[in-house]
Amino acid sequence: MGILIGLVVTLGCVLGGFMAMGGHLHVLLQPWEAVVICGAALGTFLVANPMKTVKDTGKGILEAFKQAVPKERDYLETLGVLHSLMRELRSKSRSEVEAHIDNPEESAIFQAFPTVLKNHDLTHFICDYCRIIIIGNARSHEIEALMDEEIQTIRNDKLKAYHAMVAVGDGLPALGIVAAVLGVVKAMGALDQSPEILGGLIGAALVGTFLGIFLSYAVVGPVATKIKMVREKRNRLYIIVKQTLLAYMNGALPQVAIEFGRKTISSYERPTIDAVEQSTMNTGTAEKKAA
C-alpha cells in the first residue's frame, strides 16, 4: 500500500506540476518510447541474471508491495518454537528430540507454530542447529562462526533480487537516452517538414529521456530499496534463532535464552516480555493437552 501511495503522490506532483506550467499531457503519451526503454531494460535484465534470480525478483516485488515483513506474531512464534525445543532438549531423550527435528511437518511442536513451519528455510535452519546441539561435540564459538557464515550466505542470496533491480535502475537513464537518440534520428529525417511537425518529433524524442530518468529514480530505485528493507527484516528471524540457541548452549535456561533472542528485535517491533511469557505459557499448556 505504501508503494502505491508513493507512486500516486509522485505521479500527481510531476504531472500536476507539468500541467500547471502550461504543458499538455498528451505530449507525454509516447508509447513507442516506453516500449524501447522498458523492452531494453527487460532484455538486459534477462541477460544479466539467471532464471532463478528473475523469478525471485518477481517474488521480491510482491513482498515489497505487500510489506511482507515479520509481524509480532512471527516473532512470538519463532521464540515460542525455540522455547519448546529447548525444553525438550533439557528434559527428553535424544531420540524423542530427533523425532521433532527430523520430521518437523509432523512434529506437535512445529505444528503449534504454523507461521514458522510455513517458512521452510527458517524451519530447516532451526532443525539443523538443534541437531548439532544434540550431538554435543561442538563448542558454542564454533557454532556461532558457522551460524554467522550461513546467515551471511542467506542474506546474500536474498539480496540478489535487490542488486538485480538496482542494476536495471542504474541503466534506465542511459536507455532513455537511447530512446531519445532514436527519436532525434527520426526527427532528422523530417527536416523538410513544417516547424510544428518537427517540434513534435523532437518533443517526443525528449520524452524518452524523461521516462528513463523518471522510471529509474521514481519507480525502480525505490522499489529495489523496499525489497532490500523487507528482506533484511525477514533475515532478522535467523539472528533471533542464533542468539537464542547460543545463549542456551552457554548454559542459559530456556526462558532466559529466549530473552537473548527477543533483544535482537528492533525496539519499535519487539514484543514485550509479558507477551512472550504469555505466548510460551499458552503453548506449553496446549502441548500438555495434546500429549
Mean pLDDT of 140-147: 91
Is residue 75 scored above 80 in pLDDT?
Answer: yes
Q: How far apart are CA 279 and CA 287, in angstroms?
A: 12
Q: How far apart are CA 140 and CA 287, in angstroms?
A: 29
What is the structure's pLDDT at 192? 73
What is the structure's pLDDT at 96? 86
Digit-coded pLDDT (tens) for 3-47:
889 889 988 998 889 888 888 888 888 888 899 999 999 999 999
Digit-coded pLDDT (tens) for 195-224:
777 777 888 888 889 999 999 999 999 999
CB 48 within 8 A of CB 55: no
What is the structure's pLDDT at 81? 93
- 272 by Cβ neighbours in 10 Å (0-12 / 13-18 / 19+) ranks as exposed
Backbone dihedral angles phi then psi of residue 31, each to the nearest 5 degrees: -60, -35
pLDDT band at 99 (very low <50, low <70, confident <90, very high): confident
Average pLDDT of the chain is 89
- Which amino acid, residue 60? G
CB 53 within 8 A of CB 164: yes
Map grid coordinates 540457541 to a residue. Answer: 245
Cβ-based neighbour number of residue 68 at 10 Å: 15
Is residue 291 scored above 80 in pLDDT?
Answer: no
What is the structure's pLDDT at 223? 95
What is the structure's pLDDT at 3? 84
What is the structure's pLDDT at 205? 85
Cell of 95: 531420540
Q: How far apart are CA 253 and CA 45, in angstroms?
A: 50
- Long-range CB pairs of 120-126, under 8 A, 24+ apart, other chains included: 121/154, 122/78, 122/237, 122/238, 122/241, 125/150, 125/154, 125/238, 125/241, 126/81, 126/82, 126/85, 126/101, 126/241
Is residue 154 scored above 90 in pLDDT?
Answer: yes
What is the structure's pLDDT at 136? 74
Q: Whose CA is closest to 15, among 3, 33, 30, 27?
A: 27
